[in-house]
Amino acid sequence: MERVLILVHTDADGTLPRAAYEAAGAGARLCGELGAAELAIGIVGAAAQAAVPSVAACGATRFLVSEGAELVHSRYASDAAAAEAVCRAAGASVIIAPMTARWARTLAGVAHRLGGRVDTHVTGIGAADGRVTATRWFYRQRMEGTLFREPRPWIILLDPGACPAWAGPVGTATAEVVDVVLGPSLTRTTIAGIEAPAAEQQTIRPDADLLFVAGAGWTKKQADGHVHADDAETLILGFLRASRASLGSSKSLVDLSGEGHTVLQFMSHMNQVGQTGSTPRHPKGLAACCHGEEPHVVGWRFITERRAVNLDPNCGWARGKADVLYVADAFAVMTRVNALLAQGQ
């Protein structure tokens, strides 16, 4: 019989991130498919016990927590020690964790300490013939594979946004405190502070409902024969502020800086979506001045509703890659959209 552990961590404010609820939902469904399986939840971080009620009703029979001031912020040595202790206390054979930045750099080392195995970027977890299976993409997300492993424990890092989040009522549960001694050797790395752009300057928003992708057409000559990069920046940033959308880019646009062409100052390779970029998971996507070529569109695989604005009626978006294509000037369209947003529409 498998013993499944959902291993999550709190944010600095003591709450669980959305990815934690996605892992909880995946673990609960897996135990349902396996039939005979024990489910436990392990929480690491600040005020971990206070986060237990939010997942108390997900079907777990054990709740293990490791908390303390040393676990408020991410630090490999202390995180690995706490995660290892929770895993050993749970006696889990399958460990499901969200692939957050904190766990992505920690749990491979934990798997080694436990003598187990680890798989990352998993997009689905299930059961077949009584065995736990994991699904993930290969070859730049062009092939999907399902795998299983015999060695235990098996740590599975679940990509955020890949599975529905568990949503249930707040419950009550008794937490088992897992004590971890974090000596000077485990806490010598200190967190001096966090430097981050202001909220209005942040363009990558993984939890946004809309992905807005800008293509290289924004920096090309327009109908009047001139480049209007400054106007493009104003329109795009205005739309992002009003809609709270996340900003993506085609490879051709972010590569312009290395070719000596006009660029959008706020754009970087971090915004790139596609075969050599990211694969975001937003409910909706809107592309403007982007031709919709296959290497880019492969990054839209998990976007549920796709729309595009392009002057070319025969662009890639028109060939079955978008639900709706608006054949129009993106500058005119976004000017009108921003005006409507300013009116609260």
**pLDDT score recorded for residue 50:** 94
* Same-domain check for residues 183 and 46: yes
User: Rounded to whole angstroms, how far apart are CA atoms 291 and 274?
Assistant: 13
Name the residue among 211, 178, 167 with its Cα closest to residue 63: 178
* Same-domain check for residues 181 and 251: no
With the CA atoms of 311, 315, 319 and 324 taken in that order, what torsion angle do they form, in degrees rounded to the nearest 10?
A: -30
* Same-domain check for residues 17 and 139: yes
pLDDT tens, residue by residue, 56-87: 999 999 999 999 999 999 999 999 999 999 99
CATH number of the domain residue 314 falls in:
3.40.50.1220
pLDDT tens, residue by residue, 212-229: 999 999 999 898 999 898
Based on the structure, what is the number of domains in the chain?
2
pLDDT tens, residue by residue, 274-309: 988 888 989 999 999 999 998 899 889 889 999 999
Give the domain extent around 259: 199-342
CATH number of the domain residue 113 falls in:
3.40.50.620
The model carries a pTM of 0.81
**pLDDT score recorded for residue 6:** 98
Let me know: does 282 contact 303? Beta carbons within 8 Å. yes
pLDDT band at 199 (very low <50, low <70, confident <90, very high): low
**pLDDT score recorded for residue 200:** 61
* Same-domain check for residues 107 and 215: no
Helix (H) or strand (E) holding 44: strand 37-45
Average confidence (pLDDT) over 103-129: 96
User: What separation in angstroms does the CA of 261 have from each of 13, 233, 255, 258, 266?
Assistant: 43, 15, 9, 8, 15
pLDDT tens, residue by residue, 120-170: 999 999 999 999 999 998 876 778 899 999 999 999 999 988 899 999 999
Exposure string (b/e) for 227-247, b if CB count within 10 Å is 16 or more? ebbeebbebbbbbbeebebbb
Q: Which residue has the tokens 């752009």?
A: 197
Sheet containing 246-249: give its strands across.
246-249, 210-214, 284-288, 305-309, 324-326
* Same-domain check for residues 245 and 134: no
